[in-house]
Copies of this chain bind each other. A is one copy, B any other.
């Protein structure tokens, strides 16, 4: 966190740097609204969203196959700054690969989904030792989980399960990014998650913003944390002055 600038009126304005993808952005916006204890409109926090779907694919770049998304991410952040954002959040785990560069380039601080996730596991699941991660190959290869969740043993699906189940559920023809929230992506994700539980994971992280869209409560025997839900609550607390 690089500062605590406030808007002219003294109120925080949350800037959601989104579009990666638009589905996940709409879902995160909803999570922020739902995470707010409110009886009337005026109890809610002020939110700006920049949903720019033209930001180059993060996974493709990390895998060495596509353009660097950083210039577009900075440009998207500047639009939020121009509109008055005082704190940022990014509803895309993979994009957190560029978090340090974004924090350096933009005039407002960013909450990190990884930092908030670690904070939440420590407080709510102190017994957890092994974390199973369902995430896109890009965010796995970026090493974000090992980098940020150093207090736990991290398990990923093996290469075959990652390709056949997780990536297919997100990017496949009948996958979530194609607008599908039906049984097929859910079946694929349960297959991948149950294999991690069988290997000893005592907590699962639905670590690509699209993945929770296809899952339902009770899909696994162990708790499942949605980092976007964790980030939404942290953003609301921050904007309402609940923490520094």
B-binding residues in A (CB < 8 A): 9, 11, 19-23, 25-26, 29-30, 33-34, 36, 38-55, 57, 79-80, 82-84, 177-179
List the B side residues contacting A43 at CB < 8 Å: 53
With beta carbons under 8 angstroms apart, the residue of B46, B84, B178 that contacts A53 is B46
Structural contact, B44 and A21, CB atoms closer than 8 A: yes
Once the chains are docked, how many angstroms separate the CA of A41 from the CA of B53?
5
* A48 in contact with B46 (CB, 8 Å): no
* C-alpha gap A173/B180 in the complex (Å): 36
Copies of this protein chain in the complex? 2
Can you list 27 A-B contacts with CB-CB less than 8 angstroms, sorted by A residue number?
Answer: A11-B54, A19-B44, A19-B47, A21-B40, A22-B36, A22-B38, A23-B33, A25-B33, A26-B30, A29-B29, A29-B49, A34-B179, A38-B179, A41-B55, A41-B57, A43-B53, A46-B51, A46-B52, A47-B51, A48-B48, A48-B50, A48-B79, A49-B49, A79-B83, A79-B84, A80-B83, A83-B83
